[in-house]
Amino acid sequence: MKTIPVEAYFAVSTALFVLGLLGMIVRRNLVTVLMSLELALNAVNVAFVGADYHMGLVEGQIFALFIIALAAAEAAVGLGIIIAIFRYRLVDSTDEITDMRG
C-alpha cells in the first residue's frame, strides 16, 4: 500500500523550505520576500501531511490547518505593513529601509 517512504516527503519538504529561505534572502522586492515566507510555511504543511499519511493519524492535518490560518493572518498584517512602508517611506526595495540601522 505505502510504496513511497516518508523520507521522500520529508526531502521534498526540506527542499521547499530551503528554497523559501533562499527567496527570503535574495529577493529585492518586499512583496516577494513575504511570498517566500509563505513558501516556507507551505513546506511545513507538506511535512505534516506526509508524516500523517505515514502514521495513519489526523493531528498533522489539523496543525496544517492552523498553519494555513496563521499564514492568512500573516499575509494580511505583512502586506498592510508593506503598504504602510511604501506610503510613508516611499521605498519598495529591501536594501533601502535603513532607518533602524545602528
Partner 1 sequence: MDWIVFGTLAIWLICSVGGAILVKNPVHSILFFLSSVLATAALFLSLGAELIAGLQIIIYAVAIVVFYVLVITTIPWEKIKKFEGVYFKELSIGFPVVLIVFLLMGYMVVKGEFAQSVGKIEDNVREVGKTLFTSYLFPFEVASVILLVAMIGAILLGRKEE
**Least distance in Å: CB of 55 to partner 1?**
6
Strand partners, 93: 29
State the Cα–Cα distance between residues 31 and 43, nearest whole angstrom.
Answer: 19
The minimum distance between CB 67 and partner 1, in angstroms, equals 10
Q: Tell me which amino acid residue 62 is.
A: I
d(CA 71, CA 91): 25
Q: Which residues bind partner 1 (CB under 8 A)?
A: 2-4, 6-12, 14-16, 18-23, 25-29, 31-32, 34-36, 38-39, 42, 45-46, 49-50, 52-59, 61-62, 64-66, 68-77, 79-84, 86-87, 92-93, 95
